[in-house]
Amino acid sequence: MGVKICVCVKTNPDLQMVRIKNREPVLEAVPYKVGDLEKNALEAAIVLRDAAGEGAVVAVTVAEGDRKIGETMKEALALGADEAVIVSDPALAASDQGGIALALAKALEKSGPYDLILFGEGSSDGYSGQVPGRVAELLGLSEIGYARRLTAAGAGVQAERSMGDIVEVLEAPFPVAATVVSEINEPRTPTLMNIMKAKSKPVAQYGLADLGLDAAAVAPRRTVVSNLAEEQDRKHVMLEGDAAQQAAALVDALVNEGLLGR
């Protein structure tokens, strides 16, 4: 029997669509998508599955709020995951990394067991990097962080990672958790055929009650005091004249600000 790999997928707002108003992000009507580092993790899982010639890749996500997460997870299925697991509950909207990790760990216990659990090293919105370590701890697993290369090694996995000016190579037996960095691969673009196939792949959906949890179990233990963009003072310098004069004036202004050298 092949390796069974779980990829924990974080869906994030499309940052290119986020506007800043009064130093705060405006997320209304902003579409969500599979995070870039999660795509690297998915690609790594698919490569390992295909190299083994058998096995399964399961994409698992926690919906933090009342979003239509099913449509977003079809992207993960189109990228090559064999099935998806969605944890969705209104109580998760206010949860923090600890609550999300607990819900994920319970979902993995229910849908597993898994040989390998993969994460991106951080999410492109909060980028706290806390969830992978928390999940590994809750499941009693060893964790390999910041893998830039993953290969099968008998009944386990071998990982290569950069640690400053040295490169470490580690091996760990299954089951094990690992986080990956963007350098590990270039995620594939789903073909039209795979997008169509994604619609028929199995998707399981759990609420907190299905996992033996309640709202109190995932209640946040920390409060975000503020989340503000950095203040920017604009000089509002107007450049006059024709195009050549404006270009010369722009160069002078950049030199005066120390941004360009003569």
Task: Please give the residue range of the domain that contains residue 46.
Answer: 3-218
Does residue 209 belong to any structural domain of this protein? yes
Does residue 122 belong to any structural domain of this protein? yes
Does residue 136 belong to any structural domain of this protein? yes
Does residue 29 belong to any structural domain of this protein? yes
Do 191 and 245 have their domain in common? Answer: no
Q: What is the pLDDT of residue 67?
A: 59
By three-state DSSP, how is residue 5 classified? strand
Cβ contact 19:70 at 8 Å: no
Do 116 and 244 have their domain in common? Answer: no
Q: What is the pLDDT of residue 125?
A: 66
Which pTM value belongs to this model? 0.81
Instruction: Provide the 10 A C-beta neighbour count for residue 115.
Output: 22
Do 205 and 170 have their domain in common? Answer: yes
CA angle 136/137/140 to nearest 5° reads: 85
Q: What is the pLDDT of residue 249?
A: 85
Q: What is the pLDDT of residue 65?
A: 57
Report the chain (262 residues): mean pLDDT per 10 consecutive residues: 88 75 73 86 95 92 73 91 93 88 96 94 74 94 94 91 91 95 94 93 94 91 74 72 86 79 65
DSSP annotation of 258: T
What digits encode the pLDDT tens for the residues 33-80?
Answer: 888 899 999 999 999 999 988 899 999 999 865 556 788 899 999 999
CATH number of residue 75's parent domain: 3.40.50.620
Q: What is the pLDDT of residue 226?
A: 73
Does residue 236 belong to any structural domain of this protein? yes
Does residue 227 belong to any structural domain of this protein? no
Query: Does residue 113 have a cis bond before it (omega within 30 degrees)?
Result: yes
Cβ contact 18:27 at 8 Å: yes
Overall domain count for the chain = 2
Residue 56: which residues within 8 A CB-CB, separation 6 or more? 2, 4, 5, 49, 82, 83
